[in-house]
């Protein structure tokens, strides 16, 4: 049988890291098995579902590169189908109309609690029986699934192992509300059946729903899929991950300068392992992933590790890949790269020093934009009258340099040092501040090579003016 998995978010908010990890695991399992992956939007809760959240989920999935083979399906477009199955279950007496009004059920619940019993719906409660017998054609009703009274529901969760629950613990679930809308536990089963889902990977908050859903699968004669319930993600303080811990929306990680590859690598390790390996290419993730190796215990989020991975991918990923995501940040900072070197070359030179794409965009700026001012501390220290001679000599050598390469610029700096009998720092640092505006940059010969002759010549001249002005004011 072809493996088919799905991710089925409720569009009540953005795609958060917990959802993204579930989506990743589900997607990876399908890929690993050569199967298919379905995206389904569970929007039956009309009050809480929004188009904005749907868009945010799709945007997050796309940004992460978790492509789906089918969908997105929308539950709100499938009401006819759900009703068809409800009618079938009614005809087979596997479901029934329940006329007991909510107020009455609340009252019974109170009584049960006061008596120290577990509150639950009881179809045989005299008040419920009475409500049902007194009801007329026009009385409002909901539809309940007739849960088996005897026996146990058993399943082997791929993560949590053998799970068993007695049917006596489960009450007759509402499958269609009084207003005619179908409920989550019912829709999910019909969808997973119709869509041919073979493995359901989802959060552990759904584990209590699973036995109820298995009974529905059996009642409609559908094959029961396998289940894998993933544990929670905690913040680094041990509390359930929430907004309080900073970024939880996947798109916020984009905004903060992470590469999707880094986030995916981070997420796969958040509750899954393969020995002590930390770095996984997409191909390795797909090849090595298994549901059985997902951890049962909760995992704690660690931003430092995510940063470390991000730096790793900025350094080692194909520069073309980094460029694709860096461009978004350059645009956000209005850095126009058309009048400077290729951003691929800038990434190769500057990338390894940066933990985020925001830093990388900032460190790319001086290749494309002239700066108004030199960084104050660096200028104070390195653009001093003593540096004038070195800068003047370097400028004249630069003006006459024909072949503008890193090697030749390296030689130019070395010659300036030996001509003036100065150490490397006395020439290199003033030059660095002159051409980049700041005290730190990659190797200054390589930076000058990429900047090009025009920018270098203009900027050294500007630094010399700066020194003269400083002298005049002294």
348 binds ligand GLU (CB under 6 A): no
78 binds ligand GLU (CB under 6 A): no
Distance (Å) of CA 280 to CA 76, 262, 288, 351? 38, 9, 9, 20
56 binds ligand GLU (CB under 6 A): no
DSSP code at position 14: -
What number of chain residues touch ligand GLU (CB under 6 A)?
A: 8
- In the complex with ligand GLU, the residue whose CB is nearer, 144 or 202, is 202
- In the complex with ligand GLU, the residue whose CB is nearer, 36 or 42, is 42
66 binds ligand GLU (CB under 6 A): no
- In the complex with ligand GLU, the residue whose CB is nearer, 250 or 357, is 250
CA separation for the pair 354, 365 (Å, rounded):
13
188 binds ligand GLU (CB under 6 A): yes
305 is in an annotated binding site: no
312 binds ligand GLU (CB under 6 A): no
Q: What is residue 207's three-state secondary structure?
A: coil
Cis peptide before 72 (omega within 30 of 0): yes
What secondary structure does DSSP assign to 419-455, as a single string?
A: HHT--HHHHHHHHHHHHHSSS--S-HHHHHHHH-HHH
Q: Judged by CB under 6 A, which of 42, 43, 157, 445 binds ligand GLU?
A: 42
128 binds ligand GLU (CB under 6 A): no
- In the complex with ligand GLU, the residue whose CB is nearer, 188 or 322, is 188
Q: 343 phi and psi, to 5 degrees?
A: -70, -20
- In the complex with ligand GLU, the residue whose CB is nearer, 199 or 364, is 199
Give min distance, CB of 26 to ligand GLU, in A: 9
Give min distance, CB of 312 to ligand GLU, in A: 31
How distant is the alpha carbon of residue 59 from its chain centre? 10
Binding mask 357-396 for ligand GLU (x = CB under 6 A): ----------------------------------------
Chain position carrying tokens 């640092």: 429
230 within 8 A of 295, measured Cβ to Cβ:
no
327 within 8 A of 347, measured Cβ to Cβ:
no
Q: Of 111-119, 169-177, 200-208, 396-404, which part binds ligand GLU (CB under 6 A)?
A: 200-208
- In the complex with ligand GLU, the residue whose CB is nearer, 210 or 364, is 210
Q: Judged by CB under 6 A, which of 81, 206, 353, 397 binds ligand GLU?
A: 206
Q: Judged by CB under 6 A, which of 78, 202, 212, 455 binds ligand GLU?
A: 202
DSSP code at position 231: P
229 binds ligand GLU (CB under 6 A): no
Distance (Å) of CA 337 to CA 2, 314, 342, 452? 47, 19, 8, 14
Strands 233-234 and 226-230: what pairing? unpaired
Give min distance, CB of 11 to ligand GLU, in A: 9
Chain position carrying tokens 């930076």: 447
Give min distance, CB of 167 to ligand GLU, in A: 21
CA separation for the pair 279, 257 (Å, rounded):
19
Q: Judged by CB under 6 A, which of 9, 18, 319, 430 binds ligand GLU?
A: 9
- In the complex with ligand GLU, the residue whose CB is nearer, 85 or 108, is 85
Q: Of 7-15, 78-86, 256-264, 329-337, which part binds ligand GLU (CB under 6 A)?
A: 7-15
What token pair was written down for 364? 């790319």
Q: Of 8-16, 62-70, 161-169, 442-450, which part binds ligand GLU (CB under 6 A)?
A: 8-16
20 binds ligand GLU (CB under 6 A): no
- In the complex with ligand GLU, the residue whose CB is nearer, 42 or 157, is 42
Residue nearest to ligand GLU (CB): 202
CA separation for the pair 42, 39 (Å, rounded):
10
10 binds ligand GLU (CB under 6 A): yes
What token pair was written down for 182? 């179908």
Q: Judged by CB under 6 A, which of 8, 322, 433, 456 binds ligand GLU?
A: 8
Strands 152-157 and 161-166: what pairing? antiparallel
- In the complex with ligand GLU, the residue whose CB is nearer, 9 or 182, is 9
Q: Of 6-14, 166-174, 336-344, 361-369, which part binds ligand GLU (CB under 6 A)?
A: 6-14
CA separation for the pair 296, 369 (Å, rounded):
51
- In the complex with ligand GLU, the residue whose CB is nearer, 186 or 313, is 186
CA separation for the pair 326, 320 (Å, rounded):
10
- In the complex with ligand GLU, the residue whose CB is nearer, 49 or 416, is 49
305 within 8 A of 297, measured Cβ to Cβ:
no
Q: Of 2-10, 232-240, 351-359, 421-429, which part binds ligand GLU (CB under 6 A)?
A: 2-10
Buried b (16+ CB within 10 A) or exposed e, 434-450: bbbbbbebbebbbbbbb
Buried b (16+ CB within 10 A) or exposed e, 219-253: bbeeebbbbbbbbebbbeeeeebeeebebbbbebb
How distant is the alpha carbon of residue 457 from its chain centre? 45
Binding positions for ATP are 243
Residues of this chain that interact with ligand GLU (CB under 6 A) are 8-10, 42, 188, 200, 202, 206
Binding positions are 243
């Amino acid at each position: 049988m072809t493996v088919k998995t799905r991710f089925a978010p409720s569009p009540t908010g953005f795609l958060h890291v917990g959802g993204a990890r579930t989506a990743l695991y589900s997607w990876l399992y399908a890929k690993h098995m050569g199967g298919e992956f379905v995206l389904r939007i569970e929007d039956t809760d009309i009050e809480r579902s929004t188009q904005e959240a749907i868009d945010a989920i799709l945007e997050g999935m796309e940004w992460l590169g978790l492509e789906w083979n089918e969908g997105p399906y929308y539950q709100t477009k499938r009401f006819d189908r759900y009703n068809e199955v409800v009618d079938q279950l009614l005809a087979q007496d596997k479901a029934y109309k329940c006329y007991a009004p909510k107020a009455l059920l609340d009252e019974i619940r109170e009584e049960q609690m006061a008596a120290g019993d577990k509150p639950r719906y009881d179809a045989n409660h005299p008040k419920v029986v009475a409500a049902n017998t007194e009801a007329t054609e026009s009385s409002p009703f909901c539809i309940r699934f007739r849960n088996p009274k005897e026996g146990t529901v058993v399943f082997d969760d791929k993560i949590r192992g053998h799970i068993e629950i007695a049917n006596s613990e489960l009450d007759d679930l509402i499958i269609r509300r009084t207003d005619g809308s179908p409920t989550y536990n019912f829709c999910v089963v019909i969808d997973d059946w119709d869509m041919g889902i073979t493995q359901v990977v989802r959060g552990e908050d759904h584990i209590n729903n699973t036995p109820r859903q298995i009974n529905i699968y059996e009642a409609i004669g559908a094959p029961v899929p396998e289940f894998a319930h993933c544990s929670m993600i905690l913040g680094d303080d041990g509390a359930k991950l929430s907004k309080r811990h900073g970024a939880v929306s996947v798109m916020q990680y984009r905004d903060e300068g992470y590469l999707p590859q880094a986030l995916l690598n981070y997420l796969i390790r958040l509750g899954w392992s393969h020995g002590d390996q930390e770095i996984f290419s997409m191909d390795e993730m797909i090849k090595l992933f298994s549901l059985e190796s997902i951890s049962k215990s909760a995992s704690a989020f660690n931003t430092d590790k995510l940063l470390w991975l991000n730096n790793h991918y900025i350094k080692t990923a194909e520069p073309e890949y980094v460029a694709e995501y860096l461009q978004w940040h350059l645009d956000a900072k209005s850095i126009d790269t058309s009048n400077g070197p290729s951003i691929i070359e800038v990434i190769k030179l500057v990338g390894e020093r940066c933990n985020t794409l925001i830093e990388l965009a900032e460190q790319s700026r001086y290749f494309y934009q002239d700066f108004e001012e030199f960084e104050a501390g660096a200028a104070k220290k390195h653009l001093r009258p003593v540096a004038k001679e070195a800068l003047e000599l370097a400028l004249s050598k630069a003006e006459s340099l024909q072949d503008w390469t890193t090697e030749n610029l390296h030689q130019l700096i070395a010659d300036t040092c030996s001509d003036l009998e100065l150490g490397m720092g006395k020439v290199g640092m003033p030059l660095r501040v002159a051409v980049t505006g700041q005290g730190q940059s990659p190797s200054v010969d390589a930076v000058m090579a990429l900047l090009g002759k025009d920018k270098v010549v203009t900027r050294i001249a500007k630094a010399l003016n700066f020194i003269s002005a400083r002298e005049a004011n002294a």
